[in-house]
Amino acid sequence: MTVLTSVADGVAVVTLNRPDVRNAINDQVLDDLRAALGEIRDDDKAGAVVFTGAGERAFAAGADIAGLRDYTLHTGLDARMQRLYDEIEAFEKPTIAAVNGYALGGGCELAMACDIRIAAPSAKFGLPETALSVLPGAGGTQRLARLVGVSRAIELILTGRTAGAAEAERIGLVSGIAEHPVAAARDLARTILARGPLAVRLAKLVVRTGMDAGRHTGLVVERLAQALLYTSDDKREGAEAFLAKRPADFTGS
């Protein structure tokens, strides 16, 4: 299997499993990732998702370059990887990339499609596509600019240079560095899962919507989401648990 999935303590871990080729992403990997997403979406025991790569060398070293020679206009228009990463970005459950080693090209774009990124000290991020006379076409041009700013994104894309974990944290590409990124991502996921599930889902939706719309539209969506949450049982439970100084027992309703 090119993708392995496990669920424990409410957290699904999705592992790219091609360590012999630094977890390079080919069509089979894309198919298996989409299937894994479908299973997790329907699994009530999985409240959050951690993506990582098998082995210690790479999270994912990009697309499988061997197939690039045969790509055509139609391959670009089909945009299979970009469409899948859009699904990951819009996924209803929180997503965290635990980046171990290299995250290059499509691997870096996969990490950027996740809500949060945690890197090992050895992690390296890069979008080297221009060396092949193509560009980061799985969302890289758009997501990197939103994460680190337009000027820095253009510099990284045009030069194709890699950024180490420390630089990635400094420029906002990752939110933290951990010796054991999968364990750290699991801990972070469990922290999120202790919050109100409706609030978590809507907060993610509002932030994502606001990034693709104007400020006014984002504020309107925020207002509507808050109004909806005010009608929920979980809002009442959260307030009562806080006042009683006890853990909340959220039901997602």
Active-site residue list: 109, 129
Q: What is the dihedral of CA 106, 2, 11, 59, to 10 degrees?
A: -40
Burial grade of 133 (CB within 10 A; 0-12, 13-18, 19 or more): exposed
Residue with tokens 């469990």: 190
- Half-sphere exposure of 157 toward its Cβ, with a 13 Å CA cutoff? 22
Backbone angles phi, psi at 115, to 5 degrees: -70, -40
Whether 109 and 135 have beta carbons less than 8 Å apart is answered as no
Q: How far apart are CA 11 and CA 91, in angstroms?
A: 14
Identity of the residue numbered 84: L
Six token digits for residue 212:
């693709």
Q: Kindly report each contact of residues 211-215 with a partner whose C-beta sits within 8 Å and lies 24 or more positions away, as own/partner.
A: 211/146
Check if the beta carbon of residue 235 is closer than 8 Å to that of residue 197.
Answer: no
Q: Residue 95 is which amino acid?
A: T
Type of residue at 7: V
Q: Diameter of the chain by CA atoms?
A: 64
Judge whether 96 and 51 are in contact, CB under 8 Å: yes
